[in-house]
Chain A
């Protein structure tokens, strides 16, 4: 067999990596290379160096070390029973690509994942070797995200956490039953065990020794996970319930929702549908409400019919429409918690409202300048020169925001 070129390998192994949604490069510790002895920096906020036509940002070199895999997960393009072309990068090739892409300002760092070859330990050991080469020999100070293999030895996870900024382990599907049905070799308990292990190591790395010394930081950008949406029958209520528990139990930085998307050479077990992108979007919105807007899980799920979020309007608006007795709120007097519940007001807008109303009485045009989405907020607020009158309680309020009904086609 002729040897594959690096370009061909890159084509195969980036094609295989695209179903991982995460491309974040933010939230790690600050560092730079001003001393001239290394390459790279991290300044807290991530940078998206390009956008693909699917609207997703490209911040990291997201590749698989190899797409050979001994597992047979139905939703996965790399499952053993698939006929996609296979390739494997050497350690040198991954290091060279990362460094050279970084120097040309194409990327913030590396997101390395892998199919499972030989054994989980052998695969994880190879990934750790790549991270160590980058950090120790190339003095690379950019971002590294390692997708850890749930059943790899704990010593390897410990090493990975000291080299990488972020670790992630995918829970894959929202329910244990679905994981058992579609990913027969993976065990939900084992995945959760691995996440708990990462959490404990991260917590332990916060404790100072008796001399006040800090241990080396463990995965400073935290851990994240991903669930595939729409491959099994789980409702949004189940999904959000699962992610609330993940955030709470394992202190995850992010849960990514990935709409199940057609893959080349799909399995007969999972018929292909066009990916439910709108549903994915609504789940992210609900996820944000839970984390940054003080919403409780049952508040969001109580407005859902049949356990799924309304696709026509966003979850905050859906909640406000169901709780109109609380509105309109007066922007000049309402507490911050209530302002955060106004559709069209984001966290930043609310912060500005609270700081500005100390100096002056807020009028409607002030709010426009502050940056609220006033078309959406209008029916739910009172401000100087503006009162919604009967608009708040009008029966047709939902229709103003929902997309116009689609006429069914006859043919």
Chain B
């Protein structure tokens, strides 16, 4: 029995190296126990995976899938991946077989990870932690992803925020980007980040872009699940917006049409005058452009 511990940081490379070694040495899946760090080591287990030898050819689609699945929270993910890899040796077409239950499970995990990555790109909220006038401004965020998605998603933030330093702190991993170089360290408890004045403006925007006449709470919740709300500053405004929406919509319908402001008459007169004379001057009509 082999016993492999896949570390939290660099899990994708670690799993891949180990799997290549086992596959080269023809070790079947039931002889390998894949573990996360911190689990109790098994008695009489060999802890060293055989070194990878020779060329191993695997479908590119499998490699892409494995690179996502390793970040899933499911404890069986490493074993499940290796089990499928083992089956692929004799039946390489299996990677395209959408009816296979084993592949279906892996694809489901892959989808979960992709969704989690997508939500992380959307819902991380930075606060400014450094000097606003510094040549490179710095920002930090606290985030709680469902899966281990900080590592595969960090490159997205590096590509996006090229001219600033940032860090994303999560319970089980921290990503730090300084001068464009990303590094990872252990997770941390929730830090106290300084207040950020732009958060207030953002909440004001969120409240006012909402249309109370089109309340659709379930549509919002399916795309922005409640588990993310505690780290979204704007989520604090939701309860009140939902509560007052029907009343606000009714009020709009009830309100009698008002008289137009005095300005309106003046504007209309000016518009009419310019249209009649058809000369270029404010406000211009397109006919005026064509004459130019």
Contacts and interface: CB of A to CB of B under 8 A. Distances in A.
Interface stretch (A37-45, A169-177, A295-303): A37-45
Contacts of A262: 213, 249, 252-253
Q: Determine the main DSSP class of B at the interface with A.
A: helix
Contacts of B99: 356, 360, 362-363, 365-366, 369-370
A80 B249 CA distance: 22
Interface residues of A, number: 88
A7 B214 contact: no
A312 interface: no
A336 interface: no
B209 A58 contact: yes
Given A103-B137, A103-B164, A264-B252, A82 B284 contact: no
B162 A10 contact: no
Contacts of B215: 53-54
Contacts of A187: 286
Interface string A355-397: 1101110110110011000000000000000000000000000
B208 A266 contact: no
Contact of A104 (B93, B126, B245, B271): B126
Given A55-B220, A264-B252, A103 B161 contact: yes
B159 A33 contact: yes
Q: Determine the main DSSP class of A at the interface with B.
A: loop
Contacts of A58: 206, 209
Contact of B224 (A50, A120, A355): A50
B257 interface: yes
Q: Which interface residue of B180, B196, B200, B213 has the most chain A CB atoms within 10 A?
A: B213
A250 B238 CA distance: 39
B230 to A, nearest CB: 14
A259 B214 contact: yes
Q: Which interface residue of B163, B212, B242 has the most chain A CB atoms within 10 A?
A: B163
Contacts of B224: 50-51
A122 to B, nearest CB: 7
A141 B127 CA distance: 21
Contact of A101 (B160, B198, B212, B263): B198
A104 B268 contact: no
A11 interface: yes
Interface stretch (A12-20, A225-233, A236-244): A12-20
Contacts of B270: 70
B210 A54 contact: yes
A363 B260 CA distance: 66
B96 A34 contact: no
A193 B287 CA distance: 12
A35 interface: yes
A62 interface: yes
Contacts of A370: 98-99
B220 A52 contact: yes
B211 interface: yes
A34 B159 contact: yes
30 contacts: A11-B208, A15-B209, A35-B162, A36-B163, A39-B163, A39-B164, A40-B160, A51-B224, A53-B245, A54-B215, A55-B219, A70-B267, A70-B270, A72-B268, A80-B268, A100-B198, A104-B126, A104-B128, A104-B196, A119-B282, A122-B282, A151-B289, A259-B214, A261-B211, A262-B253, A266-B255, A274-B249, A356-B98, A363-B99, A370-B99
